[in-house]
Amino acid sequence: MTAGSKGFEIAIDHERHILKTRVWGEFDAEFLKKCQWAFRQKLTEISLIPHEWSFLLDLVDCSQEARAMILNQLRCFNHGKLREIEAFE
């Protein structure tokens, strides 16, 4: 990660039923909203597929605000399709 860089990647592994998310950098409010919207879109997409889903999160290099937003979204999503949430600091 270069100084001042920020971003996110969110991808669905349909074969293994995994939502992969990587978030890095310090987010301003506008960028955090973009990430939140993209993450919600992927959660909505997988909620339409009747299967148990796993989540692979790389939140090591992101801001506290971004980490809290992602984990909060997962807690809200947890309605029988989420195995468990483990956060590594």
- The 10s digit of each residue's pLDDT in 39-78 is 989 989 998 988 888 888 898 888 888 888 888 888 777 6
- Domain with 16, as residue range(s), is 7-77
Length of the chain: 89
pTM for the full predicted model: 0.75
Query: Is position 59 within any domain?
Result: yes
Query: Is position 1 within any domain?
Result: no
Instruction: Give the count of domains, the chain.
Output: 1
Q: Can you give the pLDDT at residue 45?
A: 93
10/84 Cα distance (integer angstroms): 19
Query: For the chain, how many helices (H) and strands (E)?
Result: 2, 3
